[in-house]
Structure 1
């Protein structure tokens, strides 16, 4: 990952190299940098020069030193929405429609770009995640399927090779992981969702591997439409069930399910 630096620039060359790795998403928030001795050797600089470089990066809030724990990439994925807006959306679920509209556009674009730009290692990573999805599906491991869902979309974003798009998607997926807009576990408990979602991810990956940008965009948009519609159906069913419960005579006991 790290390479020898231009000794005419010394510390600044080391700074530029690490910044470039962060910008391009190779180094992610929370990643630990190699130990000082190892990193200095990989970059062929002295340890005092490396310390100067890390000090500059720390001043720029790109890395943070943890006492006795080493140096880590700082948490660079800021919230795409302020906490006040997040709470406002939580109180007004109708805003989820806007969220899905946003994701539909940005993920469709990411998939199309990935179909045009994905490197062989990007394609291999997508294939590996899809293979893991198939195994998790066969084993009925819902939590693993849900985790791999996010990993898959991260991989598509990285394969698009657009740094602004990449960091926007990462911020968006953090909200998804935290369940701000909806509970992904609920989606995977839908009776037909697991097999449908697997097929959709396979279709997206296949279009990207084939280099078909329009097919990749369409498959991605269809996927978001399915997620939105399926969650809406689940919420409608919950509302009908709640209303049915209110209508039940007070003396009537629920019929036990077999």
Structure 2
């Protein structure tokens, strides 16, 4: 029996619901983000974990595959499945996944930045070379060309921001410290879309951040480590305050919540 035209017109897309394996992956990701499952901790065996979760082993295997792809767990041959350290095998993308699950993790990243970025700025001011000063002038000009509003509204603005703080890491001329700061900088790039989306609700923050970057750059150029450290801290405190204000007004949607 042929369908009538009005019946055909009534056909629409079905509501998409998450598969059970995705729900399991999101649940385990939340446990990792919340610290209930810690880096290096071994998960229960496949049979035991599937029973605890009330799912089949194939469903659990699929969920663990999703977590492996996101860098949140790793399988060690003849040993088991372990929670990955975001600072080791997981890398910046794993940190990005944790923030996607629990956006409040961005405050923890800012705590780290208050320690390492401020110290790096002081070192850069003390150790910058003529070549560093040339690169610094180029970065300052690229930020000026973008303008304050584009700094938070456009993807290129976020990249310019990350490049500036990556430069500070390099200008510290401390190889091990530079590697640590490179990790922070790469992680920062993974989180920029979240921060940029949030700060879009505060358009006035763009010009303020641009001025702060220029001031930090000037302190480095002037060879003033104390001022570079202080201005970097002021920038990070402003960034945290602005993000917390918009966070309160626009509570994030936690994946699987």
> Structure 1 residue 197 and structure 2 residue 209: aligned?
yes
C-alpha change, 1:82 and 1:227, in structure 2 (3 Å) is: farther
Residue in structure 2 matching 1:221, options 209, 220, 233: 233
SS at match of 1:161: coil
TM-score (norm 1): 0.57
Q: Distance in 2 between matches of 1:148 and 1:233?
A: 24
Between stretches 139-148 and 196-205, larger displacement belongs to 139-148
Aligned to 1:48: none
Aligned to 2:129: 119
Residue in structure 2 matching 1:104, options 114, 117, 130: 114
Q: Distance in 1 between matches of 2:126 and 2:158?
A: 27
Cα distance, 1:143 vs. partner?
Answer: 2.1
Q: What per-residue deviation string (whole Å, max 9, x for no partner) do you get for residues 135-176 of structure 1?
A: 111794722221110010011111110111111111112222
Aligned to 1:184: 195
Aligned to 1:80: 87
Aligned to 2:184: 172
Q: Unpaired segments of 5 or more residues in structure 2?
A: 1-84
SS at match of 1:191: coil
Q: Distance in 2 between matches of 1:161 and 1:146?
A: 24
Q: Distance in 2 between matches of 1:187 and 1:115?
A: 31
Residue in structure 2 matching 1:153, options 165, 173, 176: 165
Cα distance, 1:88 vs. partner?
Answer: 4.9
> Structure 1 residue 133 and structure 2 residue 140: aligned?
no
Aligned to 2:220: 208
Q: What per-residue deviation string (whole Å, max 9, x for no partner) do you get for residues 169-213 of structure 1?
A: 11112222122x871322552211110111010010000111111
Cα distance, 1:127 vs. partner?
Answer: 1.4
Residue in structure 2 matching 1:231, options 214, 218, 243: 243
Q: Distance in 2 between matches of 1:124 and 1:79?
A: 34
Work out the number of aligned pairs and report it. Answer: 163
SS at match of 2:116: helix
Contact 2:149 2:206 in 1 (8 A): no
Contact 1:146 1:188 in 2 (8 A): no
Aligned to 1:55: none
TM-score (norm 2): 0.57
Q: Distance in 2 between matches of 1:113 and 1:129?
A: 18
Aligned to 1:7: none
